[in-house]
Structure 1
Amino acid sequence: MTELSAHPTPIPGLLVFDLPLHGDSRGWFKENWQRAKMTSLGLPDFGPVQNNVSFNEEAGSTRGLHAEPWDKLISLAHGRIFGAWVDLRPGETYGTSFSLDMGPEKAVFVPRGVANGYQALEPKTVYSYLVNDHWSPRARDSYTYLNLADPTIGIDWPIPLDHAELSDADRSHPFFPDVDPVAPKPPVIVGASGQLGRALVEHFPEAVGLARTDIDLCDPASIDATDFSQFGVIINAAAYTAVDAAETKQGRRECWQVNVTGLAHLVEQARKHRVPMVHISSDYVFDGTQETHDEDEPLSPLGVYGQTKAAGEKLVSTLPKHWIVRTSWVIGQGNNFVRTMVGLASRGVNPSVVGDQYGRLTFTRDLVDGIDHLIRTAAPFGTYHLTNAGPPQSWADIAKRVFELSGRSSDDVTEVTTAQYVSEKQSAPRPRNSTLNLDKISATGFRPVPAENRLFDYLDEIQ
């Protein structure tokens, strides 16, 4: 008896499975889809939601070639087919074909973007397939078709097509030169108008950017109105980040509403449509007693903002496919610490800056590059720390450096303690140490750029 096994093909992601048939005088039995065993052999955990069956009365019944907007696992309950597949995804293997004579002892996993067709070789062939999205007229409108008789691909059908049974629709499908490649599902960026959101939109021109006017995390109906099934990954850069205001009665409510309650609805959309999520979190999930924080350090937030970000991490971590990206001291477009110091330097102001909080700057261009790296390389799901590299600095250290690079003396910056700075202000508690260990993301092949290098570049841009 054949052992369950998986075999790659010239089309990336298209897998052929040998299925054991357990038979006796009564007939045979097989495990047509066995999640644990087959995923251990390389089958993506594709989450099927619908099972379809196609009955083919006569040998020569031919169907395809259809690239459908979902993944599918095909197999036979009775008879034999000649199966044919063509990669219609853009890239090096665009137009690559693969064919196989198969019976009930085989199954084939067909990833989204690969056109699928077959020809029944025996009467009363029963063709069955699992798909990971529900069929609908809207879904049918997004199919991509290729003509079965296309001479460029040159599929060698066992029964010539002029002697086969085809539908009029399949006979009229376009030939290869007229087929548009099946584009991957685009990312969606939630929080597209913020510092990080704008950098993400610029970096991912194919992405759909959703600002607060497009989706309101305080309104569940607004989240539910967005069709997340059309996206390949959700990048959540939306958050309530007014750290000090979060300590007020109204701010506390708004912070929890956006960072936890609204995020919970977003997580459920990701779960419903099986869309991976990138979620941006913060050094504020730690109390700062450790000089450097690892990804597996227990959460210990000090204030309301940190508490909501910690709760948000727990929600996102319930998704099978997620990357939580913790970062700190973000610098990009819009108002931020470096821009403020440049403005003060240019106006001749001598500021007092906190000198007993330590961490690293994170420039949005590098944060975006790191997020892109995690997605593009399919890095293992989980939590990653991502900032710029280099030695930890205090806010006062950074301010002094900005003043020097702006033509002012570093002595014009007065270093004060946190207690002195907040003595007459409404202020949230902040971690003393915000330095995040970068070993884990570095192990994936991403090398964060030193913050000092990026500071030079950033000052050139804004000055």
Structure 2
Amino acid sequence: MSIEFSKSLTTTTTPIPGVVLYQLPVHGDNRGWFKENWQREKMMALGLPDFLPVQNNISFNAKAGTTRGIHAEPWDKFISVASGRIFGAWVDLREGDSFGAVFTTVMDPSHAIFIPRGVGNAFQTLEDSTAYTYLVNDHWSADAQDQYTFLNLADEKAAIDWPIPLDQAELSLKDESHPRLSKVKPMMPKKILVLGADGQLGKALREAYHDNTSVEFATRSDFDLGAQASYTRRKWKNYSTVINAAAFTAVDAAETAEGRKTAWAINVTAVARLAAVCAHHGITLVHVSSDYVFDGSQEWHAEDEELTPLGVYGQTKAAGEAVVAVIPRHYIVRTSWVIGEGKNFVRTMASLARQGIAPTVVNDQIGRLSFAQDIAAGILHLLQTGADFGVYNLTNTGEPQSWADIAADIYELSGASRDHVTGVSTQVYFEGKPAAPRPMNSVLDLSRIKATGFIPAHSQQRLTEYLAK
């Protein structure tokens, strides 16, 4: 079989999700041929994930009929043929709906194929002196072999039509002894790590991921953001995503000497350590930020607005955003006025309403509530749909309100009179009290998150449901 020279670089999808076949341009003449086996820029432009390869391996096979596989390793592979010709067979051995899906094709040096982690790889040489090459994104080690998943080459359900019958082919004893598909334990996906799992958003993420066994939840005792050991003792290659829902959020305390130190340590220094880990291992980092990165002077705040924090808390959140933004795979989810399971404004007002207390509430700070369940749902949406990386504003929808307006709604929904709530200015409310400066307008533009197909629930609907509990 002769190689067709000067074809265009093109891609072909396959029945196995994530497995993509590439037609490689091969340039040749009477002396031989040359090809770009791996060209990151061109291939990423065609949709190949930037899988950060670290090791290149070659399997040389002396005779036609040599058959190897079916092996699924815990890393991604970019496979091509250096010389000769092979019949390739791939079986999806990942947990999920596509488990057991099969794809086969004949490959020569003008082909390459991307095989995601957990998809079984096998090939049979069709010519003598065939070299099969692997570009992988993790270093091989003996310790990793217990994470492999294997399938028997002769599995009846996969029903691979080997050009050279297996009883006439060269096989290893190990490959002959691998289990049938019914006995294969699917390879679990890479893990998601949720930090701050005991906070309001962390609890909502627990609920959103309650049936996903590949998600780990870490409280401060499990993962101390201030301890170097937290970043060095984990096998980060086993993680695909980190969701950072942990932060120092004591806005007023951040203005004190000790609070300022803690806010910078947790919201900036720890985030920088986390960002370095994620960048090094190709992990997606989801980082939760705040409306406090703005001074509140605009009618609404878009994702690309220049950051203008007023107080220490806002400054640390802005600095954290700047750190996360340099990671290739990141989502910065900017939110405001978070309400979830735990101490919050809605619970406080509902308690005062039940006690018959008439509160004084600020009426010149404007924004929208952000219920933790919707923030969690938005994060899952971004990850599951593979939305473009970057910054996304995420609050509930509805007309912007002041804190006093919301308090009046809470009183009414709790069976008390709206008139029990008295509105005052921020200046009057905090007069004589140590307090951080606050943005007067916290309304976040939701156009970008809506464009991905995620429409947050109306804040009044969520408030009614929350109080009904």
The normalised TM-score by structure 2 is 0.96
Deviations 1:30-78 (A, max 9, x none): 1100111111122111111111111112222211101111111101111
Residues 232-311 of structure 1 correspond to what in structure 2 (within 5 A)? 232-311=240-319
State the SS of the aligned residue for 2:457.
coil
Which residue is equivalent to 1:67?
72
Structure 1 residues 14-53: aligned runs within 5 Å: 14-53=19-58
Please tell me the residue identity of whatever aligns with 2:223: I
SS in structure 2 of the partner of residue 402 of structure 1: helix
1:81 aligns with 2:86: yes
Provide the C-alpha distance between the structure 2 equivalents of 1:374 and 1:435, rounded to a whole number of angstroms: 21
Q: Does 1:126 align with 2:131?
A: yes
* Percent of aligned pairs sharing the same letter: 58
**Is the 1:16–1:106 contact (alpha carbons within 8 Å) kept by the matching residues of 2?**
yes
- Quote the offset at 1:235 in angstroms: 0.6
Q: 2:226 aligns with which of 218, 222, 229?
A: 218
Tell me the SS of whatever aligns to 1:122: coil
Decide whether the 8 Å contact of 1:189 with 1:234 is kept in 2: yes
Q: 197, 206, 213: which is aligned to 1:201?
A: 206
Letter in 2 for 1:180: K
Q: Work out which of the residue numbers 179, 182, 190 in structure 1 matches 2:187.
A: 182
* 2:412 corresponds to which of 395, 401, 404: 404
- After TM superposition, give the deviation of residue 80 of structure 1 in Å: 1.4
Q: Name stretches of at least 5 consecutive residues in structure 2 with no aligned partner.
A: 1-5
The residue type equivalent to 2:106 in the other structure is D
SS of alignment partner, residue 343 of structure 1 = helix
Does structure 2 conserve the Cα–Cα contact (< 8 Å) formed by 1:17 and 1:106? Answer: yes
- Using the TM superposition, give the Cα deviation of residue 182 of structure 1 relative to its aligned residue in structure 2, in angstroms: 2.4
* Residue 88 (structure 1) shift: 2.1
CA distance in 1 between counterparts of 2:122 and 2:77 reads 12
Q: 1:103-118 maps to which residues of 2 (within 5 A)?
A: 103-118=108-123
Structure 1 residues 263-286: Cα deviation after superposition (integer angstroms, max 9, x where no partner): 101011111110111110000000
Q: Partner residue of 1:98?
A: 103
Compute the displacement of 1:237 (Å).
0.2
The partner residue of 2:343 within 335, 338, 341 is 335
Q: Does 2:62 correspond to 1:57?
A: yes
Residues 241 and 305 in structure 1, CA contact (< 8 A), matched pair in contact too: yes
Supply the AA of the counterpart residue of 1:172. Answer: S
Among 5, 29, 35, the alignment partner of 2:10 is: 5
Distance 2:96 2:147 in 1: 20
Task: Tell me the number of residue pairs that the alignment of Structure 1 and Structure 2 aligns.
Answer: 461
Q: Which piece of structure 1 moves more, 448-457 or 24-33?
A: 24-33
CA distance in 2, matches of 1:456, 1:229: 43
Residue 123 of structure 1: CA displacement?
2.0
- The one-letter amino acid of 1:2's match is K
- How far residue 101 of structure 1 moved from its aligned partner, in angstroms, is 1.4
Deviation at 1:261, TM superposition (A): 0.3
Offset at residue 26 of structure 1 (A) = 2.5
Q: Is structure 2 residue 141 aligned with structure 1 residue 136?
A: yes
Q: 2:172 matched to which residue of 1?
A: 167
State the distance in 2 between where 1:443 and 1:176 align.
41
SS in 2 for 1:264: helix
Partner SS, residue 270 of structure 1: helix
| 8 A Cα contact 1:216 1:223, kept in partner | no
Question: Does 2:458 align with 1:438?
Answer: no
Partner of 1:147: 152
SS in 2 for 1:291: coil
- In 2, distance between residues paired with 1:294 and 1:371? 18
1:382-412 Cα deviation digits (max 9, x unpaired): 1111000000111111111111111211121
In structure 2, distance between residues paired with 1:225 and 1:210: 14
Indicate the residue corresponding to 1:388 in structure 2.
Answer: 396
Which residue type is aligned with residue 354 of structure 2?
A: S
- Tell me whether 1:326 sits opposite 2:326 in the alignment: no
What's the CA shift string for 1:193-215, capped at 9, x where partnerless? 11111111121132100110011
Amino acid at match of 2:371: F
- Larger displacement relative to structure 2 (178-187 or 273-282): 178-187
CA distance in 1, matches of 2:127, 2:183: 33
Normalised by the size of structure 1, how large is the TM-score?
0.97
- 1:438 & 1:423 partners in 2: Cα distance? 34
Q: What CA deviation, in whole Å up to 9, does each residue of 1:297-333 have, x standing for no partner?
A: 1000000010011011111111111111000000001
The residue identity in structure 2 corresponding to 1:351 is: P
In 2, Cα distance between the equivalents of 1:315 and 1:98? Answer: 42
5+ residue gaps, structure 1, are none
Q: 1-side partners of 2:40 and 2:389: how far apart? A: 19
Say yes or no: does 1:361 pair with 2:366. no
The amino acid across from 1:353 in the alignment is: V
**Is the CA contact 1:239–1:258 (under 8 Å) kept in the aligned structure 2?**
yes
Report if aligned partners of 1:82, 1:101 keep a CA contact under 8 Å in 2: yes
Deviation of residue 124 (structure 1)?
A: 2.0
Render the CA deviation track for 1:232-263: whole Å, top value 9, x for unaligned.
21111010000000000000000000000001
One-letter code of the match for 2:85? R
> SS at the partner of 2:147?
coil
Give the structure 1 partner of residue 354 of structure 2.
346
Name whichever of 158-167 and 187-196 sits farther off.
158-167
Give SS of 2:144's match.
helix
**Pairwise CA distance, 1:367:** 0.9
Distance 2:97 2:190 in 1: 18
CA contact (8 A) 1:239 1:259 kept: yes
Aligned residues: CA RMSD: 1.2
Q: How many angstroms apart in 2 are the aligned matches of 1:91 and 1:196?
A: 27
* Greater alpha carbon shift after TM alignment, 215-224 vs 167-176: 215-224
In 1, distance between residues paired with 2:11 and 2:450? 32
